[in-house]
Amino acid sequence: MSWWHTILPLGITVVAVFVPGAVLARCAGVRGLTLAAVSAPLTVTICAGTAIVAPRLGVPYTPVVVAIATVIVALLALALRVAVLLRRTDLSQARSWIRPGATRSTARDYPLVGDPRVTGILIGLVSLVLPLYIIGLRYVRGIGKPENISQTYDNIFHLNAVQTIISTGNGSSLTLGNLTPTSAGFYPAAWHDLVAVVAELTGASVPLAVNATNIVVAALVWPLACLFLVSRISGGRLLPMMLTGVLSAAFSAFPYLMIDFGVLYPNHLAIAMLPLAIGLVVDVLDVGSFRPESVLTSGLLLVLMLPGMALAHPSVVVALVAFVFPLVLAKLAQQLIRAARGSVPRRRAIVWAGLTVLYVVAGLAVWIVARPDPSTYTWQPVQTAAQAVGEILGAAPMFAPISWLMLVLIAIGLYSMLRQRRQWWIFGMFLVGSALFIVASSMPVGDVRSFWTGVWYTDNFRLAALLPIVTVPIVAIGAEFLVRHLVTDLRRLLERRAARQPVAPAGDRSRVLAGLQERPGIVYGSVSLALVLIIGVLGQNPSLEVRQDSLIARYAMTSTSPLLDSDERALLDQVDGLVPAGEQVLANPRTGGALVLALADRRTVTPHVAGQRSPAEQTIIDHWDEAAFNTTVCAAVRDENAYWALDFGSREVTAGQHPYPGLNHLEGTPGVRLAAEVGHARLYELTACRA
């Protein structure tokens, strides 16, 4: 299959990811950029919430059930709007919630004034289409073929979890666990729930649905979230919005790192939504340059999207708690200053002081409770603090080549913020993100490092992926500062030259001056747009090429692929025609055999490396090859319908050897028949227990 054949599945994926949330948001009165940005996160909440509720109601989790849930919550949102309208006597006040969207600052950029329709088209093309093209193209090149899979340990679980949801109709995060009834428990399943909906709507294989969903999240959800956050900082001005669009595709740490390392698909989804959550907090606290007419709507949207983000990956909610802390301090400082000046009552400042203390206490509680067991803190420091600082400033964490453009833009952005002395919480947020990465990547192993970064398993990669969230506003500010000064200097230079033209006829000089003064949008808007495009091109730095090359190696299907090689994949393609539906297959998951569930839709005794086993399952794992002479084996085999086994050799995706005793002696064993083989990969049937 070529990528051209995936155009329809990709289009359906966009619909599946955005439409449910868009219906809910529109019924809540949301419009414009906010509508576009919140749609996907609200869809995630709808899918994850429906997956939890559906089993309790005795109905399967399917796209139809998700559609019904969407209609229900959308009608509730609409009813709430109507109730607000009816309860308020002042309709002008009610309208502020019914039709939100006004801004504190609607001033347009001087270099980009002109026809609003043309301006809107330019913004759409540059801000969204360019990152869509750039990120999408890099994902396509990195993944290779549409149905390639990441050859990594975590992918055993992720692919099988999606197929488990499709097969069982149960995608509840409360019970997904390790994919077997005996190991049911909590696992954040929002990403898996979303991919399951995509797979069922498109009819695509699980690998294709996974890749399509990840592309849509990276190329659409992420840039929209960045645009929303920067709009709150810039007041919705056009130039920083366009710059944000092109620069959102210039970070190697996100989105690319999360589908390369791990793979960490749930983090990939949750982090893509994080800038939106921060932007909504900016609205609620009123510390930005963009004020929606209704803080209530922004708060409601934040409340609605947080469950989806938490059920994608809880650690990203903890990151939100940390990144929002400077915003809370900024709000407190704002109220204290206003109280000192007499513009607000002192009791309001006292209330905010109390709320700040409450936030710190609650935040520390979340920080402590959300940390996993310390035995999972296996990641070690990898560099010095000085090296970590250099990687942060060069937008090149985890040993990627430095991006000189990003280094310059970060420096200019920091200078611009310090000079203007406003919205300093942006700098505070940058310091928080940087400090977490420095602690994880350079601080010696100990209690301090574990306390601050244990939520992320002290994993440098997870914290590196958070750096673009706190860096996007700074590079947007720096790029705007640079472009504005270049355009302003160009305008002055052209005007001086036109005025001093000694030989040009007066009429020509007048026409030049008139063109510069009367139609600046055409002249300087074109220059600004050209500079934005140049920055976008220069932003595609060597660190992105390194990450793309790493993706190519990670997703390549070869005869030596670490998880599932070409022989093994070819054999799995035959399994559904050989193994009857309802019968199980025994396989060592570390050799890739467990992917018979995701790729052939056949149940396996071991769908994941981890997980508790029932006595019958353990008997099969340890003694399957002894069925001809061990009388206890056939009883277990019949209980589990486990008449088949895959032998993919001893090469495992992780270091070391973890043999499955029941697979040790299959060739030539009495009562075991070779059913199919491709190269070294073999499928066996246990005929000894068929009688």
Encoded amino acid at 395, one letter: A
Tell me the percentage of the chain whose pLDDT exceeds 70.
90
Q: Is the pLDDT of residue 464 over 50?
A: yes
CA contacts within 13 A on the Cβ side of 645: 29
Cα–Cα distance between 565 and 9 in angstroms, integer? Answer: 26
Mean pLDDT of 204-221: 97
Burial environment of residue 670 by CB neighbours within 10 A (0 to 12, 13 to 18, 19 or more): exposed
Q: Which two tokens stand for residue 518?
A: 């009367």
User: Which phi-psi region, left, alpha or beta, contains residue 582 (left: φ > 0; alpha: ψ -120 to 50)?
Assistant: left
Element (H, E) at 317: helix 314-341
Cα–Cα distance between 289 and 182 in angstroms, integer? Answer: 53
What is the per-residue pLDDT for 22? 96
What is the per-residue pLDDT for 509? 52
C-alpha dihedral, 676 to 682 to 686 to 690, nearest 10°: -20
Contacts of 19 (CB under 8 A, 6+ apart): 39, 43
Q: Which two tokens stand for residue 317?
A: 């909610």
User: Which phi-psi region, left, alpha or beta, contains residue 203 (left: φ > 0; alpha: ψ -120 to 50)?
Assistant: left
Buried b (16+ CB within 10 A) or exposed e, 401-417: ebbebbbebbebbbebb
Encoded amino acid at 605, one letter: V
What is the per-residue pLDDT for 343? 82
Q: What is the DSSP string of 568-602?
A: HHHHHHHHHHHSPTT--EE--GGGTGGGHHHHH--
Q: What is the DSSP string of 593-637?
A: GGGHHHHH---BS-SSSS----HHHHHHHHHGGGTTT-HHHHHHH
What is the per-residue pLDDT for 599? 96
Residue indicated by tokens 């430095």: 402
Q: What is the pLDDT of residues 507-536, one digit of tens each?
A: 555 555 555 555 555 667 778 888 888 999
What is the per-residue pLDDT for 273? 97
Q: What is the pLDDT of residues 647-658, one digit of tens each?
A: 998 889 987 788
* Nearest residue to 598 (alpha-carbon basis) of 589, 554, 647: 589
What is the per-residue pLDDT for 93? 47
What is the per-residue pLDDT for 613? 87
Are the CB atoms for 663 and 624 separated by under 8 Å?
yes
Q: Is the pLDDT of residue 501 over 70?
A: no
Tell me the percentage of the chain whose pLDDT exceeds 90.
66
User: CA-based angle 316:322:324, to the nearest 5?
Assistant: 100
Report the 10 Å Cβ neighbour count for 292. 23
Are the CB atoms for 165 and 60 separated by under 8 Å?
no
What is the per-residue pLDDT for 690? 82
Element (H, E) at 451: helix 447-453
Beta strand pairing call for 585-586 and 681-686:
unpaired
* Nearest residue to 637 (alpha-carbon basis) of 596, 674, 597, 685: 685
What is the per-residue pLDDT for 199? 97
Are the CB atoms for 217 and 40 separated by under 8 Å?
yes
DSSP 8-state class, residue 28? T
Mean pLDDT of 433-441: 95
Q: What is the pLDDT of residues 294-330, one digit of tens each?
A: 788 899 999 999 999 999 999 999 999 999 999 999 9
Q: What is the pLDDT of residues 638-649, one digit of tens each?
A: 999 999 999 998
Alpha helix segments (H runs only) across 169-251: 190-202, 206-216, 222-234, 238-247
Encoded amino acid at 140, one letter: V
Span of 142-146, 148-152, 337-341 with lowest mean pLDDT: 337-341
* Nearest residue to 566 (alpha-carbon basis) of 143, 149, 157, 199: 149
What is the per-residue pLDDT for 194? 98
Cis peptide before 324 (omega within 30 of 0): no
Whole-number mean pLDDT of the chain?
88
Mean pLDDT of 664-677: 90
User: Which phi-psi region, left, alpha or beta, contains residue 573 (left: φ > 0; alpha: ψ -120 to 50)?
Assistant: alpha
What is the per-residue pLDDT for 235? 83
Mean pLDDT of 92-121: 47
Encoded amino acid at 419, one letter: R
Q: Is the pLDDT of residue 293 over 70?
A: no
Cα–Cα distance between 140 and 142 in angstroms, integer? Answer: 5
Q: How far is CA 10 from CA 205, 266, 679, in A?
A: 13, 19, 34
Mean pLDDT of 397-417: 92
Are the CB atoms for 618 and 599 separated by under 8 Å?
no
Report the 10 Å Cβ neighbour count for 199. 26
| All structural domains of the chain | 3-473 (no CATH), 566-689 (3.40.50)
Entry pTM: 0.92
Q: What is the pLDDT of residues 583-605, one digit of tens each?
A: 999 999 999 999 999 999 999 99
Cis peptide before 255 (omega within 30 of 0): yes
Mean pLDDT of 279-285: 94
Q: Is the pLDDT of residue 206 over 70?
A: yes
Cα–Cα distance between 371 and 457 in angstroms, integer? Answer: 8
Phi, psi of 585 (to 5 degrees): -125, 130
pLDDT band at 502 (very low <50, low <70, confident <90, very high): low
Cα–Cα distance between 239 and 256 in angstroms, integer? Answer: 26
The total number of residues written for the chain in this structure = 691
Cα–Cα distance between 248 and 671 in angstroms, integer? Answer: 59
